[in-house]
Structure 1
Amino acid sequence: MGFRVGIDSGGTFTDLFAVDEDGREEIIKVPSTPASPDLAVRNALAALIDRLGGDPSRIEAVLHGTTVAVNAILQHKFPPIGLLVTRGFRHVLEMGRQTIPGERGSIYVWTKPARIVPLGNVREVTERLDRTGAVLAGFDEAECREQARWYRDQGINSVAICFINAYASGVHEMRAKAIFAEEHPDCQIATSCETLPEYREYERAITTATNALLMPILGRYIANVEGHLKALGIDAPLYIMKSAGGATLAELAARQPVHTALSGTAAAVMGSAWIGRGSDMPDLMTFDMGGTSTDVALIEKGYPALVSEVELDVYPIRTPAVDVVSVGAGGGSIASIVPGNRFQVGPRSAGADPGPACYGRGGTEPTVTDANVLLGRLPQELAGGAVRLDRAASEAALETLGKPLGLDALEMARGIIEIGELNMADAVRQISVKRGRDPRNFTLIAGGGAGPLHAASLGEILQVPQVLIPPAPGIGCSLGALVSDVREDFVMTDIHAEDAVDIARLSANFTALETEAAALLDRQGFPATGRSIVRSADLRYRGMRTELLVDVPAGAIDADLVAAMCDNLHAAHEDAYGYAYRGVQPVEIVNLRVTGVGHMRQPPAFEGKAGEPSAEAARTGTRSVFFNETGFVETAVYDRRQLAVGASFEGPAIVEQYDTTIVILPGQKVSPDANGNLLITTRCGQLAKGVTAGAES
């Protein structure tokens, strides 16, 4: 058995983390190539092969988290696509929902987003099913052939098919797909019955249309990556991370790319959850800060929460996903003056090209990274010398921005850090305080190349007692990909009233989904002993528009199991909103869900360095670093690789490692643990311990 490889394409760096069965680790960071992200993946794999003595046969699997899909949506880089609908439903995307995003009054300023499919590319076919799947109007094959030829003549090579009530039966959609294969064989087809067999026409249509526009984009990207694997001599399966935190074979991802849109984000959360479970810290708030954005999520009892719908740009997409909040605050976030002489940080980012001013690649606008450089928090080079930092360029950019405000470079740097960290703290409060969780009951875990630079300060702002810096925080997404299992999700709309559940139908439908999950895992080589099948469902109180996702116990489908499902809704509603309607409002079962999990070989847990528990052995020198409490002060710098378990020390301090830099504030205490983590006890945490100790005495 050889190396399993996790790769993540970020805005600034592409990260690779590889582990073999003996626990040998390889960590590689290469500059990202935004114009062709697959080239950075190739460069990272080529560097790994060099470290393996030029032997690509030692790579047994590649798991990849990618932002290709989400970037296409955010940047509105849409290829021309078509949408085929039931006659009379041509305006399904235009009608949408009446919900207006934003605060009160937005109805007067809100502009409806551009449709994914121009109205001229929406075509109709005569057919109609009722909500049970029974045929009300037959499928007109001649019309469908005419429409397929029209798309062919227009040069439209990706089409979504979304017929009314196709969630109940895909018979007409699948026949239309077959006709397109005959009349327009170069066209890629996304059917709603395969993409999202759920009721609600708008959500099903927008999700299927998004899938259609992503099929050529992700398909081309996957083909390029697979070409690089072949050219490098790597004969190993390629897996793509999904938004729900699992992986799937690349060929399957290319057919349903909408379910991979948030793969990189999900991978980071899964990596943090794995670290937490191994360190006996099941309750975490993740703080993953990269070059472009900061992503935060809540992990309780070792696992993150999932949602069944996400908003990508301005489009509601129905797909299982890890519950993550993102803000435009990363290391490359640009500081600027906006109308009204106001100062803001982000959401614009310098990205990897040209990057922050200190990269020396043509960037002239100051970023969060430039502020950290001027404050002495970053070393002269990053990623083992891959990027050298120019302090003078940072200072010049900060001075230029500060002149209109009457502020010098140092004042600008301080302001950028303060505003950026407040934006990050607000994001963390959205996944904690806003959802009824007290941040002081969680450990903040830092990830991303820039996360450890700000985690200690964020810990003080949020008053969390402890901050955890994992062994390799800068490659958290690639770690998450590496430790993820294969995951396949299946859903079916099957509505039952609590007091009139058709047990036989419910059981048959769950069995059908479980059979589908087992078959797909069989196809990917997972035997019955190497997989698990998990049931869940979307439930709501009668009269409500939205549902809550609840677990469905294993075992036979009977009245007791249905009662347990309803009890789970009451508990979930109470947890989410603080109250429930037990015995007051009847429950409805809406969607049935089954998840098939193929268990992948997990890497061994990280271990702390053995040796003399003295921080002095890891001290490499000092440098002048700015802290709000002290101003510039000579600060001890430590090499993390040399910090042994128990080698505790106190801030201010800087800890450097290949993939990140860690800033420790004055008065904070640091202790390396047996799992290779650095545990930072905040000043708030120390105060809480002191209060507790005083109470106990």
Structure 2
Amino acid sequence: MPYALGIDVGGTFTDAVASDGAGRIVSAKTPTTPPQREVGVMRAIEELAAELGIGVGEMLAQTDYIAHGTTASINALVQGSVADVGLIATKGHRDSIYIMNAEGRTLGRSAHEIQDTLRQRKPAPLIPKHRALEVTERIDHAGRVLVPLDEDEVRRVARALVDQGVEAIAVCLLWSFKNGDHERRVREIVHEIDPSLYVTLSCEVSPRIREFSRTSTTIMNAQVGPRLRTYLTPLQRQLEEGGLKGPLLVMQSEGGTITADRAPEHAITTVGSVLSGGVIGGQRLAGQLGHRNVITTDVGGTTFLAGLIVDGEPVMAPGSIVNQFPINAATIRVHTIGSGGGALASVDAGGNLRLGPQSAEAVPGPACYGNGGTRPTNTDANLVLGILSERGLLGGRKPLRKDLAREAIREHVAEPLGLTVDEAAIAIHEVQNAQAGDLLRRAVVQAGYDPRDFVAYAFGGAGPAHCAGYCRDLGVAEVVVPLGPVASAFSAYGLAASDVAISAELSDPSAFPVDHTVLGAHFDRLEADLQRALDRQKVKFHDVTLAREIDLRYSMQVNELAVTLPDTEITEGSGDEIVERFEEQYERINGSGAGFREAGVQAITYRMRARAGLGFPIVLPDIPEAESADPSAALLEERQVCLDSQIGFVATPVYDYARLRAGHELVGPAVVDVPTTVVVVPDGVTGRVDRLGNLVLRYDGGRS
């Protein structure tokens, strides 16, 4: 029987899902094993095989593909654990990465931080200046060669970088997005000197106008590429030696996969891979449930993630920012804060309770894990509050110690604030809900949408414990907690259900609308580029769909909006229709009447995305129906739980999810124990088990 696997390597846990395409789905959850994360991956695969009742070799031999999401790239950038990189730039232009286009002090900063001008600082440079060297060459804005490449100078510069011991070289020449011949020749010369050296070109990684962002993207690709290759190559070899016949695929930021042997070349596209899995899983579940607009919320051990699905499609962004440096790689727009289950609670110098962004991560973990952690986390607070049972996580295989949790909270939060341990625990719980709710409001409203038009999905190990709290003031009518066979491994389910996705783009700044023949020629070229890229994947595709978009702006403005083109043939009237779409989108975000067509519209970058289906049907199966709405047959126990600082501890029914059936209804307060998570149903909320085994929470019922 064929299988498809999804593996989600998070900062704290590694989640895995296996589907046979015929309605059977199993999941596994194991601790992440830094720095050798492949160990945790193999353990998760072993657990999947055990759930299926077959050997690992037998399962791998029947696996069509493994879709893998990894934090390796983003963690390397954030923590600075990257390869030593050299830069080759056009003579006179190496300092663009240090000048930072006057954006360095504000990129990625909140409005509050930007207003605090005295504390604004540029980040540390991506590479030291002695590793940023220049060569003589010049191509003009139309792609014409004005000054030939000085190949002897390239050899001297390349040897100088090799002698410095660099692990990779980034090549970013002026106007190479119009003509990449000089960059490609530089790579050939470097490989004459050292054939094994990792070399990345801006014309391949980021063919967009704007020198600073293109250079930073190329450098960061070179920084994480060698590390990603070092991680993926032995993992792929181990899987193949274990019997894997299908490809190992790696999730990208834009919500689709790429083969593992191609991923290191485009390593920067994998930076948000783990962030994307949950949104893609939400999109697939929304298709089964008939939801068009969804807010996805993923609370793992380290982070809280929020994404949007509008009219059935994830909301995208043309790039992202890491450590105040821009990345030119299309991505699912995901908002993130360090407020997961392992977020550390502390009291700052001003006597304020803080939660995150630092995390206990997998090692040493929360204090209650008993692995040496002594600082309190959100998980410790939930244990003290009775939300979590001392039986622990992972079906009891990870017991929790309340005494250690109470001691950590007492020392680091309760005594500094003059509170009891119980009061400090509920304060931590409520701060978590408040931080998450604030992020959700900003994510939805700042994108120009009304939260009341959305359904919220809550997943991740800690999401179900908090979702009713952080969604209460958002205005959504219901919250869906995906349980069933995927439970807290929902992002891994999204990985397994994803397609292969590749994008191509070109920059051609000009007044818009352009002649329809020019518009057609641009997208014909992009389609040809995509076809070549798909051919290089060496994967058999079930079907391929294409989507086109253009980054447009009003003249003299700095920022663009990515405008999706209608799925129709390009004609003489296409340009005007695209401008109308741009203005509708502009006014939705900035307010009615904010558009000003008289200023003129400019096109900056043209983009095309290809999504290639793998032909493996992955759907969540229906569960048995209950004879009545009464869930008493699933009652596990009654324990003292505190969900509200004003009410305190209340005797609360705890239900065993394994005994719940479709149609069962729970009236809050209640708790549902799931092997890999726990769902909280507060007072004033009702929960109903739907046909797929999800628990649907609504705010229109419950005891007052």
**Fold-level similarity (TM above 0.5):** yes
Question: Closer, same or farther in 2 for the Cα pair 1:621/1:509, shift >3 Å?
Answer: same
CA distance, structure 2, for counterparts of residue 404 and residue 610 of structure 1: 51
How far did 1:105 drift?
4.4
Q: Which amino acid aligns with 1:544?
A: Q
Q: Where do 1:180-579 residues align within 5 Å?
A: 180-379=190-389, 380-401=391-412, 402-471=414-483, 472-498=486-512, 501-524=514-537, 530-578=543-591, 579=593
Q: Which amino acid aligns with 1:608?
A: I
Q: 1:617 aligns with which of 633, 648, 652?
A: 633
1:22 aligns with 2:35: no
How far did 1:537 drift?
1.1
CA distance, structure 1, for counterparts of residue 262 and residue 349 of structure 2: 47
How far did 1:488 drift?
0.3
CA-to-aligned-CA distance 1:380-431 (integer Å, 9 cap, x gap): 2101223110011111111112223221210110111111111111110111
1:119 aligns with 2:136: no
Question: Closer, same or farther in 2 for the Cα pair 1:533/1:631, shift >3 Å?
Answer: same
RMSD: 1.9
Q: TM-score, normalised by structure 2?
A: 0.94
Which secondary structure state, in structure 2, belongs to the residue aligned with residue 432 of structure 1? helix
**Structure 2 unpaired stretches of 5+:** none
How far did 1:341 drift?
2.6
CA distance, structure 1, for counterparts of residue 515 and residue 194 of structure 2: 42
CA contact (8 A) 1:86 1:162 kept: yes
CA distance, structure 2, for counterparts of residue 599 and residue 582 of structure 1: 40
Q: Which moved more, 1:301-310 or 1:503-512?
A: 503-512
Which secondary structure state, in structure 2, belongs to the residue aligned with residue 348 of structure 1? strand
CA-to-aligned-CA distance 1:46-73 (integer Å, 9 cap, x gap): 2223444211312221001111000011
CA contact (8 A) 2:690 2:696 kept: yes
Q: Where do 1:575-586 residues align within 5 Å?
A: 575-578=588-591, 579-581=593-595, 583-586=597-600
Q: Which amino acid aligns with 1:109?
A: R
CA-to-aligned-CA distance 1:137-174 (integer Å, 9 cap, x gap): 11000000111111222211200000000010001000
How far did 1:605 drift?
3.3
Q: Which amino acid aligns with 1:91?
A: D
- Partner in structure 2 of residue 82 of structure 1: 86
Q: Which moved more, 1:266-275 or 1:603-612?
A: 603-612
Q: TM-score, normalised by structure 1?
A: 0.95
Q: Which amino acid aligns with 1:626?
A: C
Q: Which amino acid aligns with 1:67?
A: T
CA contact (8 A) 1:496 1:502 kept: no
Q: Which moved more, 1:362-371 or 1:518-527?
A: 518-527
Q: 1:70 aligns with which of 63, 69, 74?
A: 74
Q: Which amino acid aligns with 2:464?
A: P
CA distance, structure 1, for counterparts of residue 169 and residue 537 of structure 2: 28
CA-to-aligned-CA distance 1:494-537 (integer Å, 9 cap, x gap): 223126x2433332221111012123223435678611122111
Q: Which amino acid aligns with 2:507?
A: T
Q: 2:687 aligns with which of 670, 676, 683?
A: 670
CA distance, structure 1, for counterparts of residue 206 and residue 506 of structure 2: 8
CA distance, structure 2, for counterparts of residue 114 and residue 256 of structure 1: 24
CA distance, structure 2, for counterparts of residue 528 and residue 224 of structure 1: 26
How far did 1:3 drift?
0.8
Q: Which amino acid aligns with 1:511?
A: D
Q: Which amino acid aligns with 2:683?
A: P
How far did 1:294 drift?
0.2
Which secondary structure state, in structure 1, belongs to the residue aligned with residue 163 of structure 2? helix
- Partner in structure 2 of residue 695 of structure 1: none
- Partner in structure 2 of residue 53 of structure 1: 54
1:649 aligns with 2:666: yes
Q: Which amino acid aligns with 1:559?
A: E
Identity of aligned residues (%): 33
How far did 1:346 drift?
0.9
Q: Which amino acid aligns with 1:421?
A: N
How far did 1:226 drift?
0.8
Which secondary structure state, in structure 2, belongs to the residue aligned with residue 435 of structure 1? coil
- Partner in structure 1 of residue 617 of structure 2: 602
Which secondary structure state, in structure 2, belongs to the residue aligned with residue 495 of structure 1? strand
- Partner in structure 2 of residue 8 of structure 1: 8
CA distance, structure 2, for counterparts of residue 663 and residue 23 of structure 1: 28
Which secondary structure state, in structure 2, belongs to the residue aligned with residue 462 of structure 1? coil
